[in-house]
Amino acid sequence: MKMTYREAVREGLRHVLKSDPRVFLMGEDVGRYGGAFAVSKGLLAEFGPDRIRDTPLSESTFTGAGIGAAIGGMRPIVEIMTVNFSMLALDQIVNSAAALRHMSGGQISVPLVVRMATGGGRQLAAQHSHSLEGWYAHVPGIKVLAPATPNDARGMLVAAIEDPDPVFIFEHATLYPVEGEVDDPFQPVDISRSTIRRAGTDVSIFAYGGSLGKALQASDDLTTAGISAEVVDIRVLRPLDEATILESVSRTHRVVVVDEMWRTGSFAGEISALIMEKAFYDLDAPVVRVCSAEVPMPYAKHMEAAALPQTANIVAAAQEILGRHG
């Protein structure tokens, strides 16, 4: 069965709203407008205003309300329009949601799910297009997911709502119209493991979210050049599935990490450091990172495309570390 990424998230929401009366969705324009990306379209009519709640433009306030509701026994899902706007709620997220279990000696859990769009590629310029999920993966006390397929988008949401601790789901905004296969009947998705999307022997390409499709296209292009590239979908940024990464390195001995964050302080840097610490002697070449240019995301289409990691950059990086130039 096929559906778009947008439909898959909506189906995940519908599933958890039907399954548990404690679940409710809140955020800016999630009700009458149907969500900034039309993800929640129709849910207000189906579940009513007590379960689908429009909020004021105040990220700190409604994220804090979600934390309070979770502590009080509800299962809130908070939608933040884009990761850029989530900066306004950082105090609630880092100092409350992520810390309360530890600060209370395990007495207080915060079963909160926060969804937000991330990433560039839609000509929305710097305040709507950045990829900051790696910042959240820095914070202990929360789980960070980055589904790249419709099946993961639906299944991870359902798994997240069952988690006793805060789970943050980063949905790359360019993926919403993308269609893909989903499990029928529905199957939960493991939110503790990465997954290998394509097996290979010459080089490992690690990617997640909006970069996965580019990594798979790069793998296709490399195949025509006689290079077998393994593509690993990281998909769970915290806790990071180190075993799948290290096993892939042990098979291919060369690594390209694709990450839409800026190179400095990127999540790609974390993966690279992990490999250097635990798989250094498996490497036949230095790890290569393919990241965004270190500039605020441009508006102009050609400038934005130049700032983001592209398939050609991934192919060139793989060819470089293999010593085979196209």
Using 70 as the pLDDT threshold, list the residues of the chain that sit under it: 324-326
Annotation says 59 is catalytic: yes
* Candidates 128, 171, 260, 304; catalytic one: 128
- Strand segments, DSSP code E, in the chain are 2-4, 23-27, 52-54, 75-82, 113-118, 143-145, 167-172, 179-181, 195-198, 203-207, 229-233, 236-238, 255-262, 288-292
Q: In what order do the strands lie in the sheet with 288-292?
A: 195-198, 229-233, 203-207, 255-262, 288-292
- Predicted pLDDT at 188: 81
Q: Which of 86, 184, 177 is nearest to 131 (CA)?
A: 86
**Tens digits of residue pLDDT in 57-97:** 999 999 999 999 999 999 999 999 999 999 999 999 999 99
- Predicted pLDDT at 160: 97
* Candidates 7, 11, 28, 59; catalytic one: 59
- Predicted pLDDT at 324: 66
